[in-house]
Structure formats: structure tokens, C-alpha cells
Amino acid sequence: MSDKWSEVSPMYPKSVVLVLIFAVMLASATVSTPLARAQTLTLLHTFVPLPDGEFPSAMIQDAAGNFYGTAVAGGSECESFGGCGTVFKVAKNGKYSTLYSFAGGNDGARPLAALILDAAGNLYGTTQGNGYISAASTVFKLDPSGTETVLHIFNQSTGGGNSDAPLVLDKQGNLYGTTPIDGDTNCGRNDIGCGVVFKVDTKGNFNVIHTFSGPDGEQPEGGLVIDAAGNLYGSTWWGGHLNCKSDAPFGCGAIFKLDASGKFTTLYRFKGVADGRTPLGVTQDSAGNLYGIATEGGDLSCNAPYGCGTIFEVDARGKFKVLYTFSPTTTRTPVYASTLLRDKNGNLYGAKQFDGAHNAGFLFRLSPSGKFTDLVDFPDGGGPDGSDPIGFALSGKNFYISMDSGGDYDKCPLVGQFGCGTLLKVAP
């Protein structure tokens, strides 16, 4: 599972709860969870450390129907214990290929974030880096021939580090992203910094365009979205109201906007109770409304006393609304996969990494009217089809799921009790 590398990214949000996850699951095994309707699951690929990689991220799709993603570990041998990660492709016909294996030096290591794709077929992404092998945290480009170009290497003098979120691309070809730590090192727990928003222009020049200070947010997670006017939107895991709850002295999270001129606005600060707390990224509709999952807060009897989170909406002026509150009947552990996806009809889709009928995660839909539907419960945890969905893509009516564990136990010597993950197709 990707969280085994949380020592590489110590502020990776799921590490806050995963140390307790299996105990919670066992304690909650008798809790009733609605069964999903029947779906067709097709196993597309089972990961093995060499040469595939281990623990895939969410995939993206090109116009021809091919999928691309990263694996946070595995790949070719490098200094790292377990490999430094890969970039992979799943062709429309289902053929899997490794496009690039990170070497663990200045090219980076541990690519946790999903990729983005430009019109010319170039892929862009980030790596977290890995301090104990001196591998860099980077912004990289991978061209269609498989040649990697490092566009930026993070360091404290330029700001930012431990990059773990996907990038966005504007109309001119400039890249924007976030880092969860560094920036103002007087900010945040243990003075590691509250994170930054950065830009890499078409010439490769790197600039920090916003440094978080705490009240405006701390630890941006989930990446950015960009609208037609070039305005950027995102969320922070902590910060905002710094004393929103007694057990959250560093804040409950915030939603922010950074306009094309560089003006920063905090659109909403979470209070940490009914509205939720610790948001995990946002998605946007054509009207400019933002949607996301707050991973805690909401119904505080669920995962007491922290809550299991909410699904929320924030409009362009910062007006906030809770669309759905997770309860003990639908979830037991506040660990969600990636961010929400939205279809053309206004339905929102998300995934739980755990819970469901088999404690292996489930895929859900929230309709515009607020109806919550469990679409598919994944098979028994750790089985050959994989478990614990870490991210997904929506193509037509089909879902393409990156499963964080399970698969082939025998070929994962590092963490063989979990498997290295799989890729699945889920059809209605």
C-alpha cells in the first residue's frame, strides 16, 4: 500500500489514520453496510515489483483510450529499498507497459501523484523524493518516446518539497502545483513549513506564487483545479481556523482561490464539526462551483470522536453547503481515495479505501438530489483482484480503478502480505 512510504512523505494525510486502520476494521466488522448492485469487474493488470512497479496511483486517459499512471515504488533497481517507482501505460487493448523507471537520484523517486497530459502527448508529474537515499523531489516531463526531463528539483532555498499532488496545465503550457511542506519554515508543526503553490513556466523557470502561513491554510493536498480564466483552486488539509477544535490545534482545513493576477483568497475555513474537516482536494463544475470530500467531522458518532466526513460544495463566492454526511451505516474509517469525479449529469463519484461489504473498499455515487448509492463493493481484502482503491478514472459508463494492495502476494517480497496492487475495470 502506498502508505508504507509515509516515512518519505511524513505529512501525507492518510498516515494520520492508517496506523489505526486495521484495528478499527476488526472492531467494526459487524457493522452493517448496504450491498451494492451487481457490477462486472475485469482484472486489467497485476503489479509485480520488477519491472511494473508497486502501488499504483489514479490513472488518466488520452483521446485514443490509453491510460497512464504512476507506481510509487518498484521498477528498476535503485538505491531505494523496494525501488523508486515507475510511469506506466495501459493501452486501449489492455496491454501494460512500463514507460519509465525512476533511478533514485536527481530524476526523483516515489511518484505518488497522478499524471497530466498535454496535447502533444507529453506526460507531466511530480515525485515526493526520498531523503534516506538522497533522491530528489521533482517536477518532471516524460515525452512520447519515454525520455524524462527534470523541469525542477525542489530545495529549501527555492521553496517547496515532498511534492505529492498532481499538476495542472494552463492554456499557455505553464504548470502549477503544490507542495505540502516547506515555504515558511516558521509555519506548521515542527517548523517544517505550511506548503506552497508554485508555477513552472514553459521555459522551465520555477516560482513560488503563494506561501501558506496557517490562517490561509496549511498542507495543501489533492492538487489544484484551473478554470477557463486561469484561476486556481484547491484545499489545505490543516490551517484556516487554527483553534477550530480542541484536538485540531493546527486548524481544520480551508478552500482557497489564487486568481490569474496572483491574488489569494480563502473561500472557506472549516469549523470541524457538521461541516467537516481535513478536505482532500476539490473538483469544479462549469459554473465554478467546487466539490470535495472532508475526511473527518460531520457525524461525530462515526469514528468517534472525529467523524467520518462530509461531501461538500463551495460556490465561487465562498458559500458553503454540506451535500452528504457519512454515517456509521456507510463508513467506519475516514480514508477516501483521491478526490471526487463529476459527470456531465452532475453526479459525483468517490471511493472508500476500506469498508464496504468485504472491508476492501467500495465505489459510490452521490446524485444531484443527494441520493447516495454504493455502486460496487470490492472483493475480499488482499485477494487476486486487489483491494483498497486509491484512485479511479471515469470513461463513459466504465470505471478504471487503481487498487492499492492485493494481487500477487508471492511476487512482492517487500510487503508480500499485502500484494503490490492491481488495475481493474468496473462496468455496469
DSSP β-ladder status, 283-284 and 218-226: unpaired
Q: What is the pTM of this model?
A: 0.90
Decide if 385 contacts 394 (C-beta within 8 A): no
Query: Residue 66, Cα to own-chain centre: how many angstroms?
Result: 21
User: Please, what's the b/e burial string for 83-104 (b: 16 or more CB within 10 A of its CB; e: otherwise)?
Assistant: bbbbbbbbeeeeeeebbbbbbb
Strand, coil or helix: what is 307? Answer: coil
pLDDT at 75 over 70: yes
Give percent of the chain above pLDDT 90.
64
pLDDT band of 36, cuts 50, 70, 90: low
| Strand-pair partners of 32 | none
The residue among 41, 124, 6, 37 whose CA lies nearest residue 398 is: 41
Higher pLDDT, 191 or 235: 235
Ranking 149-163, 167-181, 186-200, 402-416 by mean pLDDT, the lowest is 402-416
Query: What's the CA gap between 350 and 400, in Å, rounded?
Result: 12
Strand, coil or helix: what is 107? Answer: coil
pLDDT band of 356, cuts 50, 70, 90: confident
133 DSSP 8-state letter: G
Q: What is the pLDDT of residues 369-410, one digit of tens each?
A: 999 999 999 987 667 888 889 999 999 999 999 999 888 878
Most confident range (mean pLDDT) of 11-15, 19-23, 336-340 is 336-340
Structural domain spans, the chain = 1-30+175-336, 59-153
Residue type at 378? F
For 219, the grid coordinates are 498542507
**Sequence-ordered alpha helix ranges (H) in 298-401:** none
Residue type at 214? G
Q: What is the pLDDT of residues 104-163, one digit of tens each?
A: 888 889 999 999 999 999 999 999 987 555 678 999 999 999 999 999 999 866 778 889
What's the CATH code, domain 1-30+175-336? Answer: 2.40.10.500
Strand, coil or helix: what is 5? Answer: helix
Q: How big is the chain, counted in residues?
A: 428
Tell the residue number behind the cell numbers 486561469, with chain if given: 230
Average pLDDT of the residues of the chain = 86
